[in-house]
Structure 1
Amino acid sequence: MRPLTPLLRRLLWLFLGTLLAVALLFAAMVLRELHAPAASTHATATPAMELVQRGAYLARIGNCALCHTAPGGASYAGGKGVATPFGTVYTSNLTPHPDTGLGRWSVEDFWQAMHQGRSRNGHLLYPAFPYTSFTHLAREDSDALLAFLQTLPAVDQPNRPHALRWPYSSQWALAVWRVINFSPADPVAQAPSPGDPTLRGAYLVNGLGHCNECHGARNVWGAPDLSKTLSGAALPQSLWYAPSLRSAEEGSVTAWTLDDTVTLLTTGTNRHATTSGPMAEVVHHSTQHLQADDAWAMARYLGQLPVVPAVKPVAGKEMPANLTLGARLYKTHCAQCHGKQGEGKKDAYPALAGNRAVQMTPSNNVVLTVLQGGYGPSTRGRPQPHGMPPYVLTLNDAELASVLSYIRNAWGNQAPALSEFDINKFRNLQAP
């Protein structure tokens, strides 16, 4: 073997030295994440009522109670399991109990959690708590949120340990994740006012509303892929699909009027669409409570998102499903509510003709809706929504494939037919 020339030897040492420097820098960044100082430990003074009321409204926008209230548990006392690809994260107690909740937290402590994803004692928080979005929150809104939370009844409920697989359960692994995937946003002292609706809408959608946590794709690390913000994604450990808010074939609202979008956000339905699944919960617990200016601001921002033309799948020449059977099943089970021509009934049942949710690929949502049934959200504007019966026990896989394939290709609709396998994988893998 020929010895290295002096030039190659120098290049090799330069490469190894650079590699070592990068490794040391990365290690230093990880150590800094692990050993950052804790925030102050001084409790917050009794807040003014106006600040508390503002915090209560912001908690609605952030949908805090939905995640931080376990089924059958006390409001905001935590303990609800959030399934992730890495295990289950249990939400924390946000009530002002001095030992198990936020009773000893100062505004600095809370700001550190919201903006930096770090607990009062410096402990790193898991991003199931969406601080990747909350980092954009203005400091004044963070303070108002804590002011509201400190007025809640104190509940003595210790936080439940997370059930994460190793190495995801370790702080050093989380520190590595943060070095690669997270950097706190530049601090914002004051939230945009409704006087600038586009900025206000962006602030609400991308910050406290944390819409991208569901509607945005994630990278191999499970972190939001910032190159695909609001571009649609299957929910982690869920079968529901949050449609792209940038695709005309999925969830873009650029072709709607502002009133259409506001109506969907505040009532759960409009002339174009009806919310279901997780989005129905968001409307019920959160967006129906939007103040008028904020609802219009969000609608304006969403309506100005660039539309990325999607390649709409074209139905193939071969239809594996029996469309004749599907037409007969539609007449028997569906036409009474949705109309003989899929025209629907105004203010009751959505039209299926021209319905992009029916034609969407992936077909997760339409299959789950027919299998599970359910109701739209009950809101002030629509307190008694009409329901959809479940067909999981009424129709078998072949029948469901046939009727859904018929609906996806009738009355001008055009989408790939569904097979028995398409139905079966949802029937057998339904998330709890």
Structure 2
Amino acid sequence: MKRGVGALVAVVLLLALLGVGWVLWQLKPWASVSHGAAVKGAANDVISRGEYLARAGDCVACHTAPGSAIFAGGRPMPTPFGNMFVPNITPDDETGIGRWTPDEFYRMMHEGRSRDGTLLYPVMPFANYTRVTRADSDAIYAYLMSVPPVKQPNRPHELRFPFNQRELLLGWRTLYFKEGEYQPDPKQSKEWNRGAYLVQGLGHCSMCHTAVSALGGSREAEAFSGGMIPNQNWYAPSLTSNREAGLGDWSLDEISDLLQAGVSHRGAVYGPMAEVTYNSLQYLDDDDVRAMAVYLKSLPPKGEKRPEPQAQLVAPATMETGRRIYAASCAMCHGDEGKGFPPGFPPLANNPSIEMTSPVNPIRMVLNGGYAPATRKNPRPYGMPPFAHLLNDEEVAAVVTYIRVAWGNGGTPVTAAQANALRSVPLE
């Protein structure tokens, strides 16, 4: 009897010890702090990485309307086909992407299809984002899921017929979309490949720096050859032509400074590129910006020489008017000989961006002025005042003509009609 009781007590004690052991194993008091910190740290690392990549993709520029919550959408995007309204990408379940899975988000980035399979319009740069790796897509997804959800319904696009027929996008995709993640070039360095990945993918630089067809598409063979940015009336210069903004004779530091700080000894960014630097490029680390510079500098040059001086094409009276206006209003910052005081005040002499075939950018700068973006490496940029209220169309044309042909520059004359056409263009 005692032996039976002893055995029973032993069994009870054993069960009790097993129970305590099970509880301790579930609670894991010896590992809870370090394991929990590791999990939280890993999650934070992914989210931080996703935020960095979202910066590289400049997602905020389109998906955040001025004065509205971040990523809540609603911003109108004027196109030649009508207005498109950018969607809400906050994690709201009803109006955002709160119910999306990582697989669905990756399909959107990689294939240009929404959660329900709907084809996306190419105002979303999925033709570039398709190059983004699955790991980077998942990190961006994790970051977007971490931002505050905003309940803001999406507005339907306002596109003219037949552009409101999404099935026509099948033809567009056949012409202009090649699906596939970026594949490193084994013949190039790791730095070059990193730069190519950022420029071709998240940076979607070719979307502006490549001319688009009447259908709103651009071919890979024409990438970075320059073109007008639709509905913004700014010209994005060629990055391969020495007649425009070819970077072959730029140093890596000069390219990096322009991208990250917004100014360099070669020039400064204005217009849409200033927004890119402000919203995106200034936040990238030095290694990534330098990698982008390495890739951009390697783009095959078109072999075009700088144009010959063109001053002989300008009437003497126009030259004198332009010289007089320049001396009174421009020389203080840009110098009597147009050499500027870089990096604060960019040079105008021997500046390919002044000589480009399209005179749109210098005309707009004279009319509207502008500032390089305030960045971490250039927190107090110098700016140029507008002269639209001080100069008439003939005077604007004269001073821009003078700048384009003085000091051996090879630009062509500008007409008063060209100045007038840009006078009423919205600043955005």
SS in 2 for 1:48: helix
Q: Deviations over 1:202-228 (max 9, x none)?
A: 110000100011001223321122221
Report what 2:24 is aligned to: none
Residue 341 (structure 1) aligned with residue 325 (structure 2)? no
The farther-off stretch of 315-324 and 244-253 is: 315-324
Matched, 1:383 2:379: yes
How has the CA–CA distance of structure 1 residues 191 and 136 changed in structure 2, closer, same or farther, with 3 Å as cutoff?
farther
Aligned to 2:323: 327
Contact 1:313 1:416 in 2 (8 A): no
> Does 2:251 correspond to 1:257?
yes
Instruction: Tell me the distance in 2 between the aligned counterparts of 1:132 and 1:182.
Output: 6
Q: In 2, distance between residues paired with 1:163 and 1:431?
A: 22
* Residue in structure 1 matched with residue 405 of structure 2 by the alignment: 409
SS in 2 for 1:408: helix
Other structure's SS at 1:137 match: coil
* Residue in structure 2 matched with residue 279 of structure 1 by the alignment: 273
Distance in structure 2 (CA, Å) of the matches to 1:50 and 1:189: 25
Tell me which amino acid in the other structure corresponds to 1:349: F
Partner of residue 248, structure 1: 242
Pick one of 121, 136, 141 that aligns with 2:136.
Answer: 141
Q: Structure 2 CA distance, aligned partners of 1:312 and 1:401?
A: 22
Displacement after TM superposition at 1:251 (Å): 1.5
Question: Equivalents in 2 of 1:226, 1:301: separation in Å?
Answer: 16
Q: Which has the larger radius of gyration?
A: 2
Q: CA deviation at 1:333?
A: 0.8
Looking at structure 2, the residues matched to 77 and 254 of structure 1 have their Cα atoms a distance apart, in angstroms, of 40
Gaps of 5+ in 2: 1-38
| Cα displacement (A) at 1:254 | 1.4
1:222 correspondence with 2:222:
no
Cα distance in 2, alignment partners of residues 210 and 228 from structure 1 = 14
Contact 2:90–2:145 (8 Å) recurs in 1:
yes
* Superposed displacement of residue 421, structure 1: 1.4
SS of residue paired to 2:84:
strand
The verdict on how the C-alpha distance between 1:240 and 1:304 changes in structure 2, with shifts beyond 3 A counting, is: same
Deviations 1:27-78 (A, max 9, x none): xxxxxxxxxxxxxxxxxx9981111000000010000001000122111000
Partner amino acid, structure 2, of 1:287: L
3-state SS in 2 of match to 1:88: strand
Aligned pairs for 1:166-315 (under 5 A) are 166-185=161-180, 187=181, 196-310=190-304, 314=308, 315=310
Alpha-carbon contact 2:129-2:204 (below 8 Å) kept = yes
Greater helix share, structure number: 2
Change (3 A) 1:289 1:308: same
Corresponding residue SS for 1:309: coil
Structure 1 gap ranges (5+): 1-44
TM-score of the superposition, structure 1-length normalised? Answer: 0.85
Q: Are 1:115 and 2:110 counterparts?
A: yes
Cα distance per residue 1:231-261 (max 9 Å; x no partner): 1010011210000011112122111111111
Instruction: Kindly indicate whether the alpha-carbon contact (under 8 Å) linking 1:325 and 1:402 is maintained by their aligned counterparts in 2.
Output: yes
The 5 Å alignment of 1:12-31 reads none
Aligned-partner SS, 1:83? strand
Give 2:96's aligned residue. 101
Q: Does 1:66 align with 2:61?
A: yes
| TM-score, with structure 2 as normaliser | 0.86
SS at the partner of 2:267? coil
Tell me by how many angstroms 1:429 deviates. Answer: 4.0
Name the residue aligned to 2:50. Answer: 55
The runs of at least 4 consecutive aligned structure 1 residues that moved more than 6 Å come to 189-192
Number of aligned residue pairs: 386
Summarize deviations over 1:308-350 as a string: whole Å, max 9, x none. Answer: 0236555274425611111111111111111112121233211
> Matches of residues 362-373 of structure 1 in structure 2 within 5 Å?
362-373=358-369
Cα RMSD (Å): 2.2
